[in-house]
Structure 1
Amino acid sequence: MRILVVCGAGASSTFVAQRVRRAALGRGLEYSASAGTAHSLPTDLDAADIVLVGPHLAGELDGIRSAAATRGAAVVLLPDDVFADITGTRTLDLVEEALRVRQPADTI
């Protein structure tokens, strides 16, 4: 699973990506997580299965969803308190929930 975390400038998304990567490793999941920006999104989407969008980009969510849909990537708007998730486990839970919703029940 390739996770892309998107924010405005790339700084906060870097922290979230590192935390969710560590949380996935702790659960034995082979997930990658990288950081990107709204500006780099068109290129970064080619290497993403799911896009986590920083809460400050909520106004751009429809455009991000449209771009991600053309590549088959899911999109999750992160909650306002995502940066308080020091361990990354709550953020990883959001990823796993989004993946469950995308999959038909008979493949889970």
Structure 2
Amino acid sequence: MRILVVCGAGASSTFVAQRLRRAARDAGVPLTATAGSEASLAVDIETADVVLVGPHHVHRIEEITRLAEDRDVRVALLPDDIFRNDPDGSRALALATAGTTSIQH
């Protein structure tokens, strides 16, 4: 499974992607997690199975979901507190592996 974590410039998504990789490794879940930015989304989505969208992009979630649907990619909006309340990456991993498109606030 290939996970793309998207935020504005790619900085916050880097932390989430690192935590997600660690959580997946600890849980024995085979996946790759990479960070992307809003600017690179159209290209990066081509190699993703799941896109986790930073909570500050809630205003773009419908647009991102439409883009993803054309490629059979699942989308989940990360919760508002994901950057401070998911130190082990387990919440991000649960969203990534949920198996359905979900928009959560």
- TM-score with structure 1 length normalisation? 0.89
| Residue deviations 1:5-60 (CA, integer Å, cap 9, x gap) | 00000000000000001100001111000000111000001110000000000001
One-letter amino acid matched to 1:70: D
Unaligned 5+ segments in structure 1 are 103-108
Is 1:88 aligned with 2:89?
A: yes
Residue 25 of structure 1 aligns with an amino acid whose one-letter code is R
Q: What RMSD in Å do the two structures reach over aligned CA positions?
A: 1.0
> Structure 1 runs of 4+ off > 2 angstroms?
none
Q: In terms of Rg, which structure is larger?
A: 1
1:22-61 equivalences in 2 (<5 Å): 22-61=22-61
**Structure in which a larger fraction of residues adopt helix:** 1
- State the AA in 2 paired with 1:6: V
- Percent identity, please: 53
* TM-score normalised to structure 2 length: 0.92
Hey, what's the Cα distance between the residues in 1 that align with 2:66 and 2:13? 20
Total equivalences in the alignment: 100
> Partner letter of residue 51 of structure 1?
V
Mapped to 2, the partners of 1:73 and 1:80 lie a distance apart of: 22
SS state of the match for residue 75, structure 2?
Answer: strand
